[in-house]
Chains A and B, each alone.
Chain A
């Protein structure tokens, strides 16, 4: 288990089991913090994890730079047949994912 705190207001904690990884984010994903999230997700894809889950239960805000990171990471994963999904989004974050239609791609449809 590794922990990483971004420069402003976003803490990321990654749990890896074989080819699966769960990233638990805590805080706000914005212009200042989205880069650390991007680095984390890209690294997981590049190190061969094929099932990456981003848990947003403790994230209260995600702006357009955060959406940009999610989309890029989603495409990066898809290009190597890995899957990035998002869980736990609520409130503003759930709202923005629904408004932007990204829920169709990022949230596993049950």
Chain B
């Protein structure tokens, strides 16, 4: 025989499980719209016959959920005519229903409201449970909105760290590739830039390019990226020689003290006649692909920035001949991993590039991006940047 105490205990356990499962469902999504829909589906039919959700911005419901789908439209009309039911315990509303409004409040912020209704009878414990579910939904919704905000901020910051547009380089073919890591909620440390410089004493047009990788991610890394990009543009605009610019930037990063981060940087200059100057400061070496598929490594490795002051950097000077391609990337490419194997292992990047002989800059960049994607079935967790420059004449 079952006593009434045992029965009550069983019922209570049932509700506990229900609330726990609801919490888990609500905590599992970061999509604000999904949370609203989920809340309605949790509440209906266990606690109520219908559930309607409003956001603070909307006067009409953003979501309507009824046990009897055919009645959804009638319910919307009724809400429009009668207005929302009052807050607090359910009271008669409409023709036959008992209903109430439960505000979505989290951390002192009102995010919207949930209205619930039942035909004829609305037990007090059902109302209390609905309140509990809405409280948890509001917290999840608040988290989701904060996450969306952070993601938008990160994207804006990320965009500000890349050049708004690329200059036109007559006689050259330029392509860039950039991919942030993860889902975009965090700013990466990779960047690139290409900009024109005042003509040199010989009157030739000149452009400078940079590709870099700040150690770490997030706003602290982004601050160093911003410092680097602006320093390169300003000092380049004043015509400062390449090695001096890199030295100056190294000093600027060290002057940041504990806020400074390590930065690997390839900084280069190309003139309209194809004279190429490179300073490779701790960055994965750039490669030059000749039309016959042979690969050369033109830059001398020099220390990365932010370690020690008083480093004198030197420039490697060469010519980018017609049909030759200068390829540079960040370690997101070379350290792309499949189990224990990296893309860059055993001259992997060199072999990949050799297969790109004769392609345009854009096609080379695309081929490398495809190779990175195809290297492993696992999603990559590092950001990556690619800059490709081909001399056409």
Which residues of A approach B to under 8 Å, CB–CB? Answer: 60-61, 63-65, 67-68, 71, 74-75, 92, 98-102, 104-105
Contact A99 B282 (CB under 8 A): yes
Contact B304 A100 (CB under 8 A): yes
| Minimum distance in angstroms from A93 CB to a CB of chain B | 12
Contact B301 A64 (CB under 8 A): no
| Minimum distance in angstroms from A103 CB to a CB of chain B | 9
The 8 closest A-B pairs by CB, nearest first: A101-B303, A100-B282, A64-B215, A100-B304, A68-B215, A101-B302, A71-B307, A101-B282
Contact B342 A71 (CB under 8 A): no
Residues of the B chain whose Cβ atoms lie less than 8 Å from the Cβ of A100: 264, 282, 301, 303-304
What CA separation (Å) do A12 and B308 show in the bound complex? 27
Residues of the B chain whose Cβ atoms lie less than 8 Å from the Cβ of A92: 342, 345
Residues of the A chain whose Cβ atoms lie less than 8 Å from the Cβ of B284: 99
What CA separation (Å) do A67 and B306 show in the bound complex? 12
| Minimum distance in angstroms from B307 CB to a CB of chain A | 5
What CA separation (Å) do A71 and B104 show in the bound complex? 50
Known: A99-B285, A100-B264, A101-B281. A67 touches B215 (CB 8 A): yes
B262 CB-CB contact with A under 8 Å: yes
Which of A65, A99, A104 has the largest number of chain B CB atoms within 10 A? A99
What CA separation (Å) do A75 and B258 show in the bound complex? 12
Contact B262 A68 (CB under 8 A): yes
Known: A68-B262, A71-B307. A101 touches B301 (CB 8 A): yes
19 additional A-B pairs beyond A67-B304, A99-B283, A102-B307, beta carbons within 8 Å, are A60-B340, A61-B342, A63-B331, A64-B213, A64-B264, A65-B216, A68-B261, A68-B262, A71-B262, A99-B284, A100-B301, A100-B304, A101-B301, A101-B303, A101-B304, A102-B304, A104-B303, A105-B307, A105-B308
Enumerate 27 A-B pairs (CB-CB under 8 Å) in ascending A order: A60-B340, A63-B335, A64-B215, A64-B331, A65-B215, A67-B215, A67-B262, A67-B304, A68-B215, A68-B216, A68-B262, A71-B262, A74-B307, A75-B307, A75-B308, A92-B342, A92-B345, A99-B285, A100-B282, A100-B301, A100-B303, A100-B304, A101-B281, A101-B304, A102-B303, A102-B307, A105-B308
Known: A63-B335, A71-B262, A100-B282. A105 touches B215 (CB 8 A): no
Contact A64 B302 (CB under 8 A): no
Residues of the B chain whose Cβ atoms lie less than 8 Å from the Cβ of A98: 301
Residue of A nearest to B299 (CB): A99
Residue of A nearest to B307 (CB): A71
Residue of B nearest to A99 (CB): B301
Residues of the A chain whose Cβ atoms lie less than 8 Å from the Cβ of B285: 99
Within 276-308 of B, Cβ neighbours of A (below 8 Å) are at: 281-285, 301-304, 306-308
What CA separation (Å) do A71 and B142 show in the bound complex? 40
What CA separation (Å) do A67 and B214 show in the bound complex? 12
| Minimum distance in angstroms from B239 CB to a CB of chain A | 26
Residue of A nearest to B330 (CB): A64
Which of B213, B303, B340 has the largest number of chain A CB atoms within 10 A? B303
Residue of B nearest to A64 (CB): B215
Which of A64, A100, A102 has the largest number of chain B CB atoms within 10 A? A64
Residues of the A chain whose Cβ atoms lie less than 8 Å from the Cβ of B283: 99
| Minimum distance in angstroms from A20 CB to a CB of chain B | 24
| Minimum distance in angstroms from A91 CB to a CB of chain B | 9
Contact A64 B307 (CB under 8 A): no
Within 331-364 of B, Cβ neighbours of A (below 8 Å) are at: 331, 335, 340, 342, 345
Residues of the A chain whose Cβ atoms lie less than 8 Å from the Cβ of B342: 61, 92
Residues of the B chain whose Cβ atoms lie less than 8 Å from the Cβ of A61: 342
Residues of the B chain whose Cβ atoms lie less than 8 Å from the Cβ of A101: 281-282, 301-304
| Minimum distance in angstroms from A48 CB to a CB of chain B | 23
Residues of the A chain whose Cβ atoms lie less than 8 Å from the Cβ of B345: 92
Residues of the A chain whose Cβ atoms lie less than 8 Å from the Cβ of B304: 67, 100-102
Known: A71-B307, A101-B304, A102-B307. A64 touches B281 (CB 8 A): no
What CA separation (Å) do A104 and B216 show in the bound complex? 23
| Minimum distance in angstroms from B345 CB to a CB of chain A | 7
Residues of the A chain whose Cβ atoms lie less than 8 Å from the Cβ of B261: 68
